[in-house]
Amino acid sequence: MGTRQTKGSLAESPGASARERGELWAALLLRSGDKAARAGSASGAGVGLPPYHRRVGMIQELLSLVRQGRQEEAGELLRHLRQDLGMESTSLDDVLYRYASFRNLVDPITHDLIISLARYVHCPKPEGDALGTMEKLCRQLMYHLSPHSQWKRHSLMKRKSQACLKAVLLGPPPDNTVDLSGISLTSRDLERLVAYLQRYEEQVDILELGFADLTDDMVLRLLPILSSLPHLTTLALNGNRLTKAVLRDLTDTLKDPSKFPRVTWIDLGNNVDIFSLPQAFLLSLRKRSPKQGHLPTILELGEGPLGGEESEDSMPMGAKHPKRGQEKASLP
């Protein structure tokens, strides 16, 4: 018989060593990975929680440890978070330096924020408001890895999802954008979405399907209509239950110039185990948009056009202001 572990028990057990805590988190990642894999084979919405729930919980735990001054345990937890996000190396030098120039990652925003977190956890600076900076980085990372619509309204999202879906599919897409992010889609919903896209195919430039509980099979069902949209430039599939197995089908489809004719980016970040993109995938996108390469902006909560002035200080190193379709990383 085993003892049930919770986030609270992990954070509040001062007798546990960093190694013991690491083993607990490793077991949690294994169990969560098994659940995600089983969910990925379902034809509809999967069972269990998508990977982003686990990752956000780890960031919250990390911040709690740092606030308590437990740097060694925070460093161990950060190592497991890096592994869960596909940054396989356990060497601090690799995280801080070698990976800094590695840019064919599926999610450069998360990569840059993790590097910044590693610097503050492993190389804390006594001067200035180091804890405040750490808290800001954690907030940015949690926001980036979770449905933005749930940031303030956790209790309303599930209850309103079907109403939101019906509202979006009611008429032509505003600003040529179909935004279904944060809405859990079922097999029946996919049929309605396919019919909608067929009807308004000339008016869809951006399609947001992030955090929609999509599995590999569901994306494969959508692939024929998605690849035929003549004006689609941005396709967001982040925060779902997708595995690297679906990359083969996406890459093969992109090799055909008549498919996804105007796509400049397909966001596959924050899924189960898609951590980097095949060269063939990247080359196919490059042919469609040779000048593409800007990173989105990350803003602090309350900043930006909806909540105040933009802050350059909140942008990860190397980030640029977003073009149309890249604003999803900005805090409201």
- Domain endpoint, select from 111, 145, 179: 145
CATH at residue 240? 3.80.10.10
Give the pLDDT confidence of 23-32 residue by residue, as tens digits: 555 454 444 4
Quick one: 99 and 169 in the same domain?
Answer: no
Global pTM? 0.71
Asked, for residue 27, whether it belongs to a domain, the answer is no
Res. 130 pLDDT band, cuts 50 70 90: confident
Least confident of 136-145, 212-221, 264-273, 289-298: 289-298
Q: What is the pLDDT of residue 87?
A: 79
Task: Pick the last residue of a domain from 252, 270, 288.
Answer: 288
Whether the predicted pLDDT of 217 surpasses 80:
yes
Residue 296 lies in a domain: no
What confidence score (pLDDT) does residue 40 get? 40
Residues 193 and 241 in one domain: yes
| Total number of domains in the chain | 2
Say if 30 falls within a structural domain: no
Tally the C-alpha atoms within 13 A of residue 272's C-alpha that lie toward its C-beta: 27
Q: In the structure, what pLDDT confidence band is assigned to residue 89 with cuts at 50, 70 and 90?
A: low
Q: What is the pLDDT of residues 258-310, one digit of tens each?
A: 999 999 999 999 999 998 888 899 889 988 877 655 434 343 333 344 333 33
Burial code (b: 16+ CB inside 10 Å, e: under 16) for 23-57 equals ebbeebbeebeebbeebbebebbbeeebbbebbbb
Per the domain annotation, does 302 fall within a domain?
no
| 4 inside domain | no
Looking up tokens 């179909």, which residue turns up? 178
Neighbours of 320 (CB within 10 A): 12
Is there a single domain that holds both residue 265 and residue 205? yes
Q: Which two tokens stand for residue 52?
A: 């982003």
The answer on pLDDT for 186 being more than 80 is yes
Domain around 256: 161-288
